[in-house]
Each structure stands twice: as structure tokens, then as C-alpha cells.
Amino acid sequence: MTVAFDSRTGRLRLDQETFDCLVAWARGTAEPGPELSELRDVGAIQDGVPHPKVWPGLQAVTEPLCRLQAGSIEHNGRRRIGDGWVSSEAAALLLDAPDGMRELVTVHPSFLPMTIARVVRLGPRPRGGADPLHLPSALYDSLFDSDEATRRQAAEQLSAGGSVELPLHDVVDRLVTGPWRMWAVTLTWTTPDGQPAARGLQVADTGAGLCLVDTGGQDSTLWPTTATGVWRRLTLLLPDAVRTP
């Protein structure tokens, strides 16, 4: 395990145990763990306090106004997850890194949409169609399976017997062949009157178009959208307590 810290950007690369140790230390735990020495060695902790680039993120982790959960899956079954904590001053994101490590990124909350857009590689895509595709949830699961043969079978079932061209047919074709990435972000918090609240979105990103995904109920729906449509939703994710502290 090797911890790496970039003091210019504040990015901290570490494993989950070391992150847990850092948080326990920030919370004042008497013996947070042996990983603390490596955090000191790389400069994430200096003279008994967190580095100034790490401190706002750690405060968000220990006293969050809202929590963030993110995840993605690709056509080959590769999964990545992310955890986040947001305060009025900072958003801390702990993201899966390719080598099994995790990366702690701290930004101002107003940069959260951009940070998510970079992580999921949001960008220009063709419009996949105008009409949504409604499908039974079992078929939806098969269409996003990591096995191409299963996806192909689902696509054939979708188009079987239909005299009308399938909505989003280019998107469906791309879901069969890949590459594609499905990603989701959810923010949760408690309102001032104690009620749980959440905002989120789930997006299927194929080279043939972007879709918002609605998986509530027995049926699932792919709603065609654009990168602009996704961006509008990303800019609305934060709760009002963070947007206008």
C-alpha cells in the first residue's frame, strides 16, 4: 500500500483502511490506526493538523450536510463506486482508482457538477432519438448485463414482432456491442424539519446517445437526453442548504 498526496491539488491517494484511519483521527479517536504514520510521511497531516488542502474535505466527511453515493458499470462488467460528503464549504469525494486504491478529492461544493462530469466523462453525444423506450425490468437487467450474448438476446426480444421501429434502436444496438457506461449519482440529506430527502440521476451513456434511466416499478424506461440535459440535472443536485448557505 502506498499513500500519495499532491499538495498542489489536495488529491490524496490511499486505500480504504488508511482513509478510515484518517477520518477516525479527525474525529479525535485516541488510537486511529497504524496507517497514520504514512499520512504524516506524505504530508497529508502536518504538525498534528490536516494539510490545508485536506482539512475542508475532512470537515465535510465528519460533519456533512448531505451524503453522496455514486456508481458506474461498463459493458465489460467493470464497476466503480464513489462516496461523498458535502458541507456548505466543501465536497469530499472518495472515488475508486483503477489500481484498487481510492482517491480523495476535495472541491468547493459549486464545483461538484463539474467534478462529476469529469469523472463520468460527460461530453457531446448524438441524440439517440425522440421517444422513450419502456421495457420490463427483467429485460432491462438483461440489456445491461455484462455478457454480450445476454444483451443481444434481450435486444432481439425487444424488437421481436414489432412492426414499428424500436425507439432508441441505435442506443440499443450500442448496448449490445458496447462500449457503454451506466452511471448513477444520488445525494441524500435530512431537511430542517427532520425529513429524509434525496436527489439523483441515472444515465446510460453510449456512443449513440445518452439516456436518463428510470428503474422504478415493474417497468424501466430509457429517456433520450443530451449532455446539456444531463448537465442541467447535475447543477440541481445539491440541496438548498448547500446552494445558498
Binding site for other proteins (CB under 8 A): 108, 110-111, 113-114, 117-118, 122-124, 226-228, 231-232, 235-236, 238, 243
Give the shortest CB-111-to-other proteins separation in angstroms. 5
Min dist. Cβ of residue 233 to other proteins (A)? 8
| Residue closer to other proteins, measured from CB, 55 or 111 | 111
C-beta of 117 vs 139, nearer to other proteins: 117
Give the number of other Cβ atoms within 10 Å of residue 3's Cβ. 21
**For cell 498542489, what's the residue?**
8
The nearer residue to other proteins, 215 or 226, going by C-beta atoms, is 226
- Measured from the CB of residue 144, what is the shortest distance to other proteins in angstroms? 24
Measured from the CB atom, the residue of 107 and 175 that comes closer to other proteins is 107
**Which is closer to other proteins, CB of 27 or CB of 232?**
232
Q: At its nearest, how many Å lie between other proteins and the CB of residue 124?
A: 4
Burial pattern 52-73, b for ≥16 Cβ within 10 A else e, equals ebbbbbbbbbeebbbbbebbbb
Q: Give 53 or 151: the residue with its C-beta nearer to other proteins.
A: 53
- What burial class does residue 10 get, using C-beta atoms within 10 Å of its C-beta: 0-12 exposed, 13-18 middle, 19+ buried? buried
Place of cell 429485460: 139
CB of 154 to other proteins, least distance (A): 29
As measured in angstroms, the least distance from the Cβ of 12 to other proteins is 20
Question: Side-chain half-sphere of 82: how many Cα atoms within 13 Å?
Answer: 27
Task: Provide the minimum distance between the beta carbon of 137 and other proteins in the complex, in angstroms, as a whole number.
Answer: 30
74-108 b/e (C-beta count within 10 Å ≥ 16 → b): bbeeeebebbbbbbebbbbbbbbeeeebbbbbbbe
Give the nearer residue to other proteins in terms of CB position, either 134 or 232.
232
Three cell numbers at 158? 425487444
> Taking each helix axis from N to C terminus, what angle separates 227-235 and 112-120, rounded to the nearest 10 degrees?
140
Task: Identify residue 9 by its one-letter amino acid code.
Answer: T
Q: Left if phi > 0, otherwise alpha if psi is -120 to 50, otherwise beta: which for 67?
A: beta
Q: How would DSSP label each residue in 200-221?
A: EEEEEEETTEEEEEE--SSEEE
